[in-house]
Amino acid sequence: MANTRTVTVINGDGIGPEVSAATIRVLEALKVPLEFEFKDAGAEVVAKFGTNLPHETVEAVLKSGVALKGPTGTVVGGGLPSANVGLRKRLDLYSSLRPVKSVPNVKTRYENVDLVVVRENTEDLYAGLEHIVVPGVVEALKIITEKASTRIARFAFDYARKNGRKRVSAIHKANIMKLSDGLFLDCCRKVGREFPEITYDEVIVDNLCMQLVKDPTRFDVMVTENLYGDIVSDLCAGLVGGLGMVPGANIGERTAVFEAVHGTAPDIAGKGIANPTALMMSAVMMLEWLELRDEARRMQGAIQKVYGGDAKVRTGDLGGSATTREFTDAIIAAL
């Protein structure tokens, strides 16, 4: 196929291989000019490679420039560092982009939610710089730099301008962390002055959480440091039905990884009942990033059509009885 682009596929752990296979079926039905190469990452490949993020996987994504990734497991409170965090650091995927939008016929407490969380991905407490001072006392270092804060602010304002968004809110705790979060806000303000058509405001993170639960429609694009962004993006996902209903992307200067941000769901792995919606939506974002806009529009339209139609075509997490294959068949038919 002429001008074919290679996409690195990382199946991941648990239900990862199932939702990846379902998503690739839809992409192939779209006849996109893409070739898929499969590489390993996650907890389930440690025995084979001695690591959850093999060097050849990172090299493959560097070469292809784009990856589609299923969920990977991380041991809590011990074990190897997160493969997700490792991938973001090694590829300098500085921006986590998480659009959160209401899905037709998915009943939640809210309607017409349409938010975007832009999260700085490389520093803050997730730099992982912690050490034991004396037994019983651990110190973790929060790293905030002018370079990273300016870069993520510019990404958020650029995204708002390109996508017709009207407001960018900087999320912070500068009332307590006056130097670190103060630097982040100073960078956001400077960048904001370059985008006079976009309204800029600042919201303290704990107040934001309350305001989102009261009325999520008052917010538009939110730009955050790493830890706040991790928490706020999951909170926002809960407003539209959970992590299974939202896409995710990690974007750098030359490389991007599009991933399902939900867990590996080991309790249902291999049963053929996983919901592939999140990874399919992430694939839509990937198509847009690759400038395959017509294919992205068709795939997004098919997802909307299936959710707007017969309630039986739902996986078990949404109260239906459809298998992963039956749901995927419905998406392909809707194309």
Residues catalogued as catalytic: 126, 173, 206, 230
- Is residue 222 exposed (0-12), middle (13-18) or buried (19+ Cβ within 10 Å)? buried
- Is residue 299 exposed (0-12), middle (13-18) or buried (19+ Cβ within 10 Å)? buried
- Give the CA-trace dihedral at 21, 24, 26, 29, to 10 degrees: -120
Q: How many angstroms separate the CA atoms of 242 and 256, rounded?
A: 23
Q: How many angstroms separate the CA atoms of 203 and 222, rounded?
A: 9
Using CA atoms, how far residue 61 sits from 42, 67, 122, in Å, is: 15, 6, 18
Q: How many angstroms separate the CA atoms of 290 and 65, rounded?
A: 10
Using CA atoms, how far residue 28 sits from 22, 31, 42, 248, 330, in Å, is: 10, 5, 25, 21, 15
* SS3 category, 54: coil
Q: Nearest Cα to 173, choosing from 147, 144, 204, 128?
A: 204
Q: To 10 degrees, what angle do helices 205-214 and 226-239 make?
A: 10
